[in-house]
């Protein structure tokens, strides 16, 4: 049946359950976010952005260069992808660290709730 884990024969004839990937959220507001992102520090990161430059915000929480992506999702959070965005203006902004924001990549205070 569709949606069920299937049995797979492993070496030696023993049966084991096939691992299933966690699906991505499909709601319009959080389509970018994996079901359970790793929560980096539950506080925003205040960073300087340059107008017109494209940035990749880490949506999985595994990056060592928070709040920006370093590609760690390829090994640690398959199916997750960074949110790419272009800065509208030069200046300091607060980017979300808890990954629960409803206005990614910017902090909306969700970490305090």
Domain chopping of the chain, boundaries: 37-112
Predicted TM-score of the model (pTM): 0.65
Look at residues 3, 57, 18, 60 and name the one whose alpha carbon lies nearest to residue 35.
Answer: 60
Give DSSP secondary structure letters for 1-68.
Answer: -TTS--EEE-GGG-EEEPP-PPPBP-SSTTTTSBSS-----SSPEEEEE-TT-EEEE-SSS--TTTTB
Query: Can you tell me the distance from the alpha carbon of 101 to that of 93, in angstroms, rounded to the nearest whole number?
Result: 14
Residue 75 has, within 13 A of its CA and on its CB side, a CA count of: 5
Three-state DSSP class for 84? strand
Q: Please list the pLDDT of the chain residue by residue as tens digits (113 residues).
A: 555 444 455 555 544 444 444 443 333 444 555 455 666 677 899 999 999 999 999 988 889 999 999 999 888 888 889 999 999 999 999 999 888 888 999 999 888 87
* Contact (CB, 8 A) for 95 and 45: yes
């Amino acid at each position: 049946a569709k949606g069920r884990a299937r049995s797979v024969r492993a070496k030696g004839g023993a049966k084991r359950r096939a691992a299933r990937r966690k699906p991505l959220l499909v709601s319009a507001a959080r389509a970018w976010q994996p079901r359970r992102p790793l929560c980096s520090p539950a506080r925003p990161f205040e960073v300087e952005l340059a107008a017109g430059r494209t940035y990749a915000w880490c949506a999985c929480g595994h990056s060592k260069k928070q709040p920006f992506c370093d590609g760690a999702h390829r090994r640690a959070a398959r199916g997750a992808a960074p949110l790419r965005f272009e800065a509208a203006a030069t200046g300091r902004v607060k980017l979300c660290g808890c990954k629960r924001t409803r206005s990614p990549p910017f902090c909306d205070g969700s970490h305090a709730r």
